[in-house]
Every structure is written in structure tokens, then in C-alpha cells.
């Protein structure tokens, strides 16, 4: 079953085709990597998938329904959540509140019960507290729930961003360089968490990552972008030995990245 299909998608900035005639399909439950040299168009593609940018041409369909033209919050409600290359947390809120806010944004409110403070309101709040705390436990942040987000070390902020994205209860999770700035130990732990949450939350995941050992280690399939175009698609083994990929990464060691 196809969850997401991207058809002939392009985005032009002035004279620059940042994303050029991209076709992509994600099946339900897949864990797919999106790689490519700096400036290849990876983040632009994420921005198109999440409604930050409107495509110049082409279509994006989630469960066969187009999402082009929807606002980012509408796309989030339809089931696509993301993290950002530059962490975007509410830095002056607690770790717990960062996740709770995401639940609130997603929840359909019964305003009357909120205003009148009916028992159902408190029950809903308590459920949300519990869900948020459970998510923090999964990401090994439970003991830090009362700390301000800005005081967490970098690796933990990245994990908190993923926890927050999951609070929107997405079907498709887009991770933009989740291991950036992490040491090898943190990266290895993160890989485990990504694998685990995919199973536990029935997720489909598309991740951008420069850390080849992470990409090759956990992705079942990989798309390679170069100058806005998909130049290769396949399993990690196929990608490692693809001459076009090796050429695009000239000087970087794709072929020896251990998987």
C-alpha cells in the first residue's frame, strides 16, 4: 500500500531548480533514506512535502489525496510530522510542555468542557500528561521533564524534537538530519530509537542524513538527490555501488560506509 506519492515535483527559486521533476513513492511502514550532497535539494523537498513551499509543478498525494495547497498545520493534521535541521523547540518551556503543546495542537477541543472545566476536560488533560510522559520515557528524557528545553545537551534536544513530532500522531515522520551533532554513541542509540518507534507507532519514516553509517544501517531503501534530481534509488547495497552516486559524492566515502 502506497502512503505517499510524489509526482513530477519541481520547485524553482528564481532561475534555480532546487527540486527538479522528482518522483518518489513511500509504502506504508517503510524506512527510507534521502541523501545527496550539500545543496542537492533535500530540505526543499521536505519543505514541499510539509506545505512550507508550494511546488512550481507536480503533485504530492497522501493516501492518494493531493495535499498540494494545504497549509503546514493542515498537512500535520493529515498525518505528516517533521523535525528540522536547525532544532526548533520552545526553548523557554519545559521538556514536558514542549510535548504537551504538540498534543494540544493536534487534539480536537471541546471548548465548552474546557471553559467550564468539566470533568471530561481534566480527564483529557490527565491523559495527555500521561501520553507526553510515556513519549519522553521512550526517548530517555523522562527524568528531564521539568528542565527547560534550552538547557538540554544538543543530542537530547534532537530526541525531544522527535518526541514532539510524534505527539501529532503522524503516519509519516520526516526527520531532517536527526543525528547531526551527535557523537557515535548517541547516533547508535538514536538508530535504535528510530527503529523502535517505527514499530511501536506503525510509522513510515523518510530521513535525511549525512551520516552514511546511520543511513546504510537502518534504511531499507534510499533515494539520492543531486542538483534537485533523483539520480538513484535502491537498497543500501545498490546505492553504495552505484557509479552515479559515487560520482556525486566524489571525495566522500560512500562505498565504504559500513551498513
Contacts to ligand ATP by CB under 6 A: 13, 16, 18, 36, 38-44, 85
CB of 210 to ligand ATP, least distance (A): 7
CB of 208 to ligand ATP, least distance (A): 7
Cβ nearer to ligand ATP, comparing 36 with 124: 36
Buried b (16+ CB within 10 A) or exposed e, 183-210: eeebbebbbebbeebbeeeebbbbbbbe
CB of 153 to ligand ATP, least distance (A): 23
CB of 7 to ligand ATP, least distance (A): 19
Closest-CA residue to 79 (of 95, 61, 58, 54)? 61
Distance, CA of 49 to CA of 58 (rounded, Å): 12
Cβ nearer to ligand ATP, comparing 19 with 160: 19
Closest-CA residue to 158 (of 216, 84, 49)? 84
> Tell me, what DSSP letter sits at residue 148?
B
Cβ nearer to ligand ATP, comparing 53 with 201: 53
Assigned C-alpha cell, 44: 526543499
Cβ nearer to ligand ATP, comparing 13 with 154: 13
CB of 228 to ligand ATP, least distance (A): 7
CB under 8 A, 24+ apart: contacts of 198-202: 198/29, 198/31, 200/138, 201/166, 201/169, 202/29, 202/171
Cβ nearer to ligand ATP, comparing 61 with 180: 180
Distance, CA of 136 to CA of 128 (rounded, Å): 12
Distance, CA of 248 to CA of 250 (rounded, Å): 6
Edge to edge, what strands does the sheet with 65-66 contain? 16-27, 2-13, 57-62, 65-66
CB of 40 to ligand ATP, least distance (A): 4
Which residues make beta-bridge pairs with 31? 205
Backbone angles phi, psi at 47, to 5 degrees: -65, -30
Cβ nearer to ligand ATP, comparing 18 with 89: 18
CB of 14 to ligand ATP, least distance (A): 7
Cβ nearer to ligand ATP, comparing 13 with 196: 13
Amino acid at each position: 500500500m502506497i502512503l505517499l506519492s510524489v509526482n513530477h515535483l519541481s520547485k524553482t527559486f528564481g532561475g534555480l531548480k532546487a527540486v527538479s521533476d522528482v518522483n518518489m513513492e513511500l509504502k506504508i511502514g517503510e524506512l527510507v533514506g534521502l541523501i545527496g550532497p550539500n545543496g542537492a535539494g533535500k530540505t526543499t523537498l521536505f519543505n514541499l512535502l510539509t506545505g512550507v513551499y508550494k511546488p512550481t509543478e507536480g503533485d504530492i498525494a497522501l493516501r492518494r489525496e493531493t495535499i498540494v495547497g494545504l497549509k503546514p498545520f493542515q498537512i500535520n493534521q493529515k498525518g505528516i510530522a517533521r523535525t528540522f535541521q536547525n532544532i526548533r523547540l520552545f526553548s523557554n518551556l519545559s521538556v514536558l510542555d514542549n510535548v504537551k503543546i504538540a498534543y494540544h495542537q493536534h487534539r480536537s477541543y471541546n471548548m465548552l468542557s474546557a471553559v467550564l472545566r468539566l470533568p471530561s476536560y481534566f480527564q483529557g488533560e490527565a491523559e495527555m500528561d500521561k501520553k507526553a510522559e510515556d513519549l519522553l520515557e521512550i526517548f530517555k528524557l523522562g527524568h528531564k521533564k521539568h528542565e527547560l528545553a534550552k538547557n538540554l545537551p544538543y543530542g537530547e534536544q534532537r530526541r525531544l524534537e522527535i518526541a514532539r513530532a510524534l505527539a501529532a500522531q503522524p503516519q509519516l515522520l520526516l526527520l531532517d538530519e536527526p543525528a547531526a551533532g551527535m557523537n557515535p554513541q548517541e547516533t547508535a542509540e538514536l538508530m535504535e530509537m528510530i527503529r523502535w518507534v517505527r514499530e511501536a507507532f506503525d510509522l513510515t519514516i523518510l530521513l535525511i542524513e549525512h551520516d552514511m553509517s546511520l543511513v546504510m544501517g537502518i534504511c531499507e531503501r534510499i533515494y539520492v538527490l543531486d542538483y534537485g534530481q533523483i539520480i538513484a534509488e535502491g537498497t543500501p547495497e545498490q546505492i553504495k555501488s552505484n557509479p552515479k552516486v559515487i560520482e556525486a559524492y566524489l571525495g566522500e566515502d560512500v562505498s565504504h560506509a559500513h551498513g
